[in-house]
A and B are shown apart, each in its own frame.
Chain A
Amino acid sequence: MNLTLYVWRQKDAADTGQLVRYQAKNISPDMSFLEMLDGVNQELITTGGEPIAFDSDCREGICGACGQVVNGVPHGPRKLTTTCQLHMRNFRDGDTIYIEPFRSRAFPVIKDLVIDRGSLDRIIQAGGYISVHTGGAPDGNAILIPKQDAETAMDAAECIGCGACVAACPNGSAMLFTAAKVTHLAKLPQGRPEAGRRVCMMTEEMLKQGFGNCSNHYECEAACPKGIKARFIAKLNREFVTAQFT
């Protein structure tokens, strides 16, 4: 199939950037979206153009490196699917596709579709861990964890840190990202001792990094390729309230 692409091109952080039109020809439905862009790039290189810069690594939906806003939706039209796992059979011959970077004040564009997501790392640095030293940990079965809690913790821990939640949020908030980590650790007995401190530090850092506040639009949940639930945000809020009054 043949497609018309409008791709965000921006030389560097200082550049204002614009959408540029490209034709993608002879696209196979078995290609992934990124392989389609690879193809466009190969042609750009051999015809003397500059290839479109975009991030990716694992290309199987787990590392969280990829991420583009495809036709107005982070990671594109298919639910629970990262850009690298989106296949071209989700499009039709003759389609026009708009491709933009994830946009947020906290995600400055580095080039084209490549953004700097260090702000998410800094939210984790503020407390998204359990402070345990290496060695001397008690036996893995010393503290039993109800299956239900372990499962919920895992539901939350599946976050891949891609930033689609931020990109989708009308407020550019990182609440879903933050809530996923808070819930993951708060659900486990090992994470309880620091739970209150953690939620305060992480939400404070979120604001410092330039993310917006949560207005409960739930766009994040709809965009998340890993199905992280907005109810984890409610959990974060509860943890925050508990932390204030204990």
Chain B
Amino acid sequence: MSATTVRTRTFVQALNEALDISLARDPNVYLLGEDIAEMGGDFGVTRGLWAKYGAERVRDTPLSEAAIIGTAVGSAMVGLRPVAEIMFADFLGECYDQLVNNAAKMHYMFDGQFKASIVVRTACGGGFGGGPHHSQSVEGWFLNVPGMVIVAPATPADAKGLLLASIENDNPILFLEHKALYRLKGEVPEGHYTTPLRKAAIARPGKDVTVVATMKMVHEALAAASELEQEGIDVEVIDLRTIRPYDAETVLASVHKTGRAVVANEAPKLGGLAAELSATISEECFRALKAPVVRVAGLDAPIPFSLVLETYILPGKKQVVEGIRSVLRA
């Protein structure tokens, strides 16, 4: 076993390290996106990489989301490993066709003759007054698309390990970075390592109730679990990490053990990740369940600007606590 040094890093720094390592290790890796080069990206994730690797491999683009994804896919067709940045996930509508109809289907419809080995990093999620077009949770937009991979880290260590694994994977990967986590600090191992895709993590073991969450909601769930611990309620928190295709085995094993499940997702309830998880748990664990699955999700509205309104819309620790109480009551 090699002794790995573990340091404290922010989520942004962890992502930056993953990109740096990838660029250094593999000449086929390059980055493209708006203002990612000299400026280092809107959130600083690519800071310093342009100076280190040059404008060819850390490439500024015009405001052309479809062309950014098209370029990424086309270059992957001939063997490059692009990492594209779409500044805000809300703009994925601009390149939805490129992702859904081209990247996600290419390997399948052309019978394995091409691989769309691309990573699309994007900042998602609300909580900072970004308003209707800078705050959305978009996983539901892509959940129904076979061929798409959706990765969503919750910690700095996973941000780095999952980004490295994503860049090295041969599938088209939508890599979601929740804006509220960018400044989060955590222990991050030095150097190269990968965190397996499609493998959930048990963020907190427990025996009374399972909470399945992603990204920021993992932290809301952990906070809820700490609060309920005072009352002797033992909550297991599962961080899904990869949203599509997801690790049903870990989720179902946990629910079989606890008999109670809450799924927590920031997006609206209707047709979203919470709905999918709830349906699968209900189908697969019906006999083990002591109560109906509870979905903790965003309210069914666009994300409003005023923080009072936004706070009302988005789920947090309070809603997770209420969700847990309600599955325990039933």
A and B found bound together? no
| Chain A interfacial positions (CB closer than 8 Å to B) | none
